[in-house]
Structure 1
């Protein structure tokens, strides 16, 4: 009987310890520990980070590819860069959940966020979020000395490459025509991306082409090997009308040394930004943001424009939509956002 009592007490003790162990996960210290190690619970194999870029002839592609390489090779996520039609397509890829990061111009983002321009009649996309600002895109109205085009109004009756439909370049071209009191009907427009348009110009099939990119642009420079480049200025009343209606444009100057033009050329620019899918967890985006800036030299090496403009200090320029909470957390941590 005594042996049975001892055995019963022992079983009660074991059962009590078992219940304590099972209930331990709800204790305050365990909760605090879980909160402090949230990043350790991320399974990077669950994420394939797709970076939407632009045509292979432009700057978006090498710069976006460099972001993808850092995310994959330095941060350990699966990632790839995707060639696209650029700004508007990239925004739609983010909205549709088919890309995680995407490069776009701030004017296109403004249109999607508030549903005007290319996004007229659609629902405002208030869930768009930004990771960082990248670099200025210069509006370059490119022609040659053979065309006779020296001012914007000379585009009347000319064959003009205005960019792929609803691309950032085409949106800019549309606004430029509007600001100068003109429409596409005043020219013989062709919806070619600027790489295609420059090729057509070499063959005498296009008179002028809109190129919105960083400077120098490799495709434009290639044109200069066989032709005398002329950059048509965006200035005067046209530039004034443009900036009044679309304040995300800023007056800029393209130095003569950029394309060996006869003089410096007045134009306007709009900022390129990297947007990110809102649904990505805060800690994933925090880690990506931190990793990007810890490896920023690798991204800057992708192109001279990236080398000149990409920095923590420039990450906030021209931002007209909210940051993703994960990016904001990092910027607050380093003192960029108070």
Structure 2
């Protein structure tokens, strides 16, 4: 009888011990899957086409990240901003290039992201301006944005970032698409149309100088239409992903500086990346821009990395770095 009692007592003790261990292990598993951000040993950086700016910049940044942090980083060519945001949404990469306006549309489920909101992406920082250029020719009679009324104007492909830029800028000036003769042309088609006289003006959003506009300037006298300081302020107040920009005299042979706006090329990351990893990536990039040989590397600065970021939330790792640098 005593032997059976001791056996029963031993069974109860073992059972209780097993339950305690299981509960502890279950708690650890829940903690790791219930919000802790996994540290990574390798990352993919989504860029753009191999002939564009994002791809070589991404390659340089991947090398810097690997050298400075030990994280195995590689740059991947892609369809650029919109595709990159969708790829991050699917969890198929960790870091990507995007324009600030496209990132904003993605996070808010607007325009080309209507019904397809991207909620798992946060900002690392902005890099350099993608300038909105309203291009026409000297002698066209177009001196201001208001003068575009009744004219044939290319605003890029339907649903594109350029099209959104054009509509927002026209809107601030009290102009709708019904007030112009809309043409949906690529940059090359736009400058060909301006040169041949089949269109009057075109919106071009790209880093300056832009090759297509340079080609036009080699044949004709180019004019870039300014946006007044007052309208720039109104535009940024309504659409905070814009930043003020200036196209300097001499670009395309223009006589004086032209005030306009820009969206910014930026880096974004999946928000489930841990804070330390993103902090180290951010620090590596912004403190080693001298290792970027591409011309745009000179424009990448910690001091301007929050310009044009608007309402796009910063990743906590990037926020920690910029706070240490005193950047607001």
Smaller-chain TM-score bracket: 0.7 to 0.9
The equivalent of 2:11 in structure 1 is: none
**Are the structure 2 counterparts of residues 131 and 257 from structure 1 closer, same or farther at C-alpha, using a change threshold of 3 Å?**
same
**In structure 1, how many angstroms separate the alpha carbons of the residues matched to 2:162 and 2:174?**
19
The 3 A distance-change label for structure 1 pair 65 and 220 is: farther
Correspondence 1:54-203 to 2 at 5 A: 56=51, 59-71=53-65, 75=70, 77-84=72-79, 86-120=80-114, 122=115, 125-145=118-138, 147-203=140-196
**Contiguous gaps of at least 5 residues in structure 2:** 1-37
State which drifts further: 150-159 or 223-232. Answer: 150-159
> CA 1:270–1:205 in 2, change beyond 3 Å: closer, same or farther?
same
Q: 1:327 aligns with which of 315, 318, 321?
A: 318
Q: How many residues are matched?
A: 290
Of 43, 47, 52, the match for 2:47: 52
User: 1:49 Cα shift?
Assistant: 0.5
Distance 1:83 1:146, change over 3 A: farther
Q: Give the alignment's TM-score, normalised by structure 1.
A: 0.70
TM-score, length basis structure 2: 0.72
How many Å separate the matches in 1 of 2:282 and 2:230?
41
Q: Any conservation in 2 of the 1:194–1:211 contact (CA below 8 Å)?
A: yes
Taking structure 1 as reference, are residues 181 and 117 closer, same or farther at Cα in structure 2, changes over 3 Å only?
farther
Distance in 2 of aligned mates of 1:257 and 1:100? 40
Shift of 1:192: 3.3
C-alpha distance 125-316 of structure 1, shift in aligned 2 (>3 A): same
Alpha-carbon contact 2:244-2:262 (below 8 Å) kept: yes
Q: Deviation string for 1:198-218 (max 9, x for gaps)?
A: 344445444322122333333
Deviation readout 1:315-334 (Å, 9 max, x if unpaired): 333333232233344445x5
Which runs of 5 or more structure 1 residues have no equivalent in the other structure?
1-40
C-alpha distance in 2 between matches for 1:68 and 1:160? 39
Corresponding residue number in structure 1 for 2:228:
235
| 1:253-282 deviation line (CA, Å, top 9, x unaligned) | 322222221333232233332111223344
* Residue aligning to 2:294: 302
